[in-house]
Amino acid sequence: MKIAPIMRAMTHRGGFEQTLVHTGQHYDDNMSNAFFEDLELPRPDLNLEVGSGSHAEQTALVMMRIESIIAQRQPDWVVVPGDVNSTLAAALTAAKLGVRVAHVEAGLRSFDRSMPEEINRVLTDHIADLLFTTSAEANDHLRREGVDSAKIRFVGNVMIDTLVALLPKARARWPELRHRLGLHGRFVLVTLHRPSNVDGADRLSEIMSALNEISVAVPVIFPVHPRTRGRLQDGAATVAPGVRIIEPLGYLDFLALETRAALVLTDSGGVQEETTYLGIPCLTARRNTERPVTLAQGTNRLVASDRRALLEAAREALEDHDRPHRAPPEFWDGRTAGRIVDTFIDIQWKTNEP
């Protein structure tokens, strides 16, 4: 979702030679191959096929397999998005080979080092040569950590570029999707995958108990991440009939559901951003968020991952029919990729000055 708009903008402007490397960190077909089709991305030039594994295994395999690619191709820039293990691994490898690194979605901070993503974000930001930020507070975080302001570019949220571009297609899928899922009114959409929520039986049981009770009044649609499905199959929690467990969805189908949901319950950073843009109430089952702009300027709310807190917050959100419309945060306008490409063009022009 973050790379597709940038590649399209570079192709449109011309003058860029691009190599798309898929690390294969997501190995489920619905969570990987389907996304290339939905996002209209070209097939990857290279697939590292890293697959699953521990954090150390994934990071090490990406570094080992991408090193020769970078060394052979000698790119001017390696562009890394987000905060996953692949982000840090590719950035670290490029930096050690003397190749400049651009980090898309830089400066986000949850200030919770128990989250692997936080470690990936911080380290990537401190070895990157160019940092593209989504919000003003991300700039502040970087400056407080001693990052040179000359490296920072506030360009906005490239995830919203993808949402804006594909929203018409997603909406066109709604009639078929509604029929297939048997939806005739309001529903709650759920997505959970973080280890803190799904790995422990007690925490997952609390969340599922809340969803079971919510589903008595409003159907719950739950596209289940492979990690979460495994825990449920192991008997970590019971699932009521009103909670519809379905396979992972491609981007367009998920966005179609997201635009029609009465409420979204998630622990995903990207979903917090999408619901903020769409104006859909969102409960984030986490103690903190690296995207505080979604709390201050959006529809997002942090909620403890326990039955009572989730039930209370869900009931409040579902009963609030007079939510004021809020404008999206600054630069969440569908044109972030253009600003990113402008930056590369400007840097190259200055580099070639006599």
pLDDT at position 29: 58
Whether residue 130 is found in the same domain as residue 233: no
With respect to residue 324, please indicate whether it lies within any of the assigned structural domains. Answer: no
pTM of the model: 0.92
114 and 205 together in one domain: no
pLDDT, tens digit, 9 for 90 and up, residues 293-311: 999 988 999 999 999 999 9
In terms of residue numbers, what domain contains 54?
3-156+332-351
pLDDT at 201: 85
Identify whether residues 147 and 168 lie together within a single domain: no
Annotated catalytic residue 193: yes
**Do 178 and 63 fall into the same domain?**
no
> What CATH number is attached to the domain comprising 39?
3.40.50.2000
Give the residue with greater pLDDT, 279 vs 322: 279
Give the model confidence (pLDDT) of 267-278 as tens digits. Answer: 999 999 999 999
In contact, 139 and 151? CB cutoff 8 Å: no
> How much is the average pLDDT of 114-119?
94
Q: How many domains does the chain have?
A: 2
pLDDT for 265 equals 98
- 62 pLDDT above the threshold of 60: yes
Residue 139 in domain: yes
29 in any annotated domain: yes
Residue 353 has pLDDT above 90, yes or no: no
Q: Which long-range contacts (CB under 8 A, 24 or more apart) does 311-318 make?
A: 311/210, 311/213, 311/214, 313/283, 314/188, 314/210, 314/214, 314/263, 314/265, 314/283, 317/263, 317/281, 317/283, 318/186, 318/188, 318/217, 318/218, 318/262, 318/263, 318/281
79 pLDDT tier (thresholds 50, 70, 90): very high
pLDDT at site 323? 74
Predicted confidence (pLDDT) per residue in 216-263, tens digit: 999 999 999 887 888 888 887 889 999 999 999 999 999 999 999 999
Do 178 and 147 belong together in one domain?
no
The residue from 12, 193, 225, 325 that is catalytic is 193
Q: What is the pLDDT of residue 278?
A: 96
3-state secondary structure 115-148: CHHHHHHHHHHHHCCEEEECCHHHHHHHHHCCCC
> What is the structure's pLDDT at 26?
62
Q: Given this model, what pLDDT does residue 28 score?
A: 60
32-36, 38-42, 199-203, range with the lowest pLDDT: 32-36
What pLDDT does residue 188 have? 98
Name the band, by pLDDT with cuts 50, 70 and 90, for residue 318: very high
Residue 156 confidence (pLDDT) above 60:
yes
